Structure 1
Amino acid sequence: MPTHKNVAIFTKAEQICRDNGVKLTEKRKNVLGVLLNSSKPLSAYEIVDIYRTTHQEALAPMSVYRMLDILSQLPLVHKLSSENKYLACSHITCEHAHEVPQFLICKTCGKVAEKGIQTSVIEALKDSIKQADFQLINSQIEIQCLCKDCAASN
């Protein structure tokens, strides 16, 4: 049963899809729901397993990858390249302009926090990269950390 929060997220997700000429199909919505209901990022194969259990329907991993690609371009979903896992954007219902995401990833428990990076920081990175004769392709930053709980237990 969807929570009140998820209903608002799905409503906003449908609007984002419409605004971008994309249809939020039932399967895409269900994949987004799997990610929304997860407390940690998931691989495509983990999504396939949870989807099968939750919706009593099998999805091919390649279909899930295609759905995740579409959802990431909007961006309703983020891909953690360092982990090869996905998580729902934590700012879907926000009305403000989204900053470039920075992901703090706990190496012990896998918990992830999404934080926006200030534009000035990204501009400084771009300048530094340009000075090294490189071009920035993806400004998303993934930082390996310990969450408060895991740091306290060490």
Structure 2
Amino acid sequence: MASAPSHTHHEHSGEDLVAAARAALTASGEQWTSMREAVFTELARHERPASAYDIADNLSRERGKRVAPNSIYRILDLFVSNNLALRVESANAFLANTHPGCQHDCIFLVCDECGEASHVDDEEVSRSVRALAKRRDFKAERPVLEIRGLCSACV
């Protein structure tokens, strides 16, 4: 992908978000299992980035039996590779992609005080980052930018 595509996104929420994620994953040739649905539903419930341990703990309580974080990590990695989830690298945490299946670069504004992480789509920044990589003979596969600071509620 030479540059970030220019397009608009339909933001999904609730059951519509789960349905969009299911459709995107099955369209990519993957199966939508009950465990994958449970993990995605739990991830989508979080407004702030959630770790695999957060998700495993919540699902363990809900199901009444232990769910291993390693299983959750594998599912989250599948979700990231299929654009159903976004990974906040510095926090090793994840957010549900509210426009599943859309490929775009990850730009996050991460609050060091409350942990809020806002995902920003900015085609100009994406093009600049990819152009910088190209000038250095580097093929950018999945650019992730994280801007750390304080959100408006924590300033």
Task: Give yes or no for the alignment of 1:76 onto 2:84.
Answer: yes
Deviations 1:13-70 (A, max 9, x none): 1111111011111111111111111121111112111111123232112111111111
Aligned residues: 144
CA contact (8 A) 2:17 2:98 kept: no
The code of the aligned residue for 2:146 comes to E
Where structure 2 has 5 or more consecutive residues not aligned to the other structure, the ranges are 1-11
Equivalent of residue 89 in structure 1, options 81, 97, 108: 97
Matching residue of 1:147: 151
Counterpart-to-counterpart distance in 2, 1:129 and 1:12? 32
User: Structure 1 residues 129-138 or 70-79, which shifts more?
Assistant: 129-138
Matching residue of 1:102: 107
Equivalent of residue 36 in structure 1, options 32, 40, 44: 44
Alignment of 1:116-135 (within 5 A): 116-118=121-123, 120-135=124-139
CA contact (8 A) 1:103 1:112 kept: yes
* Distance of aligned partners of 1:124 and 1:39 in 2 relative to their CA distance in 1, 3 Å threshold: closer
Where structure 1 has 5 or more consecutive residues not aligned to the other structure, the ranges are none
TM-score where L is the length of structure 2: 0.82
Measured on the aligned residues, the alpha-carbon RMSD in Å equals 2.1
The code of the aligned residue for 1:138 comes to R
Counterpart-to-counterpart distance in 1, 2:131 and 2:105? 16
Q: How far apart are 1:130 and its partner, in Å?
A: 3.5
CA contact (8 A) 1:79 1:85 kept: yes
Counterpart-to-counterpart distance in 1, 2:91 and 2:53? 13
Higher relative contact order, structure no. (Cα contacts within 8 Å, ≥ 6 residues apart)? 2
CA contact (8 A) 1:20 1:74 kept: yes
**What is the percentage of aligned positions where both structures have the same residue?**
28
TM-score where L is the length of structure 1: 0.82
CA contact (8 A) 1:99 1:117 kept: no
Q: How far apart are 1:135 and its partner, in Å?
A: 4.2
Counterpart-to-counterpart distance in 1, 2:104 and 2:13? 22
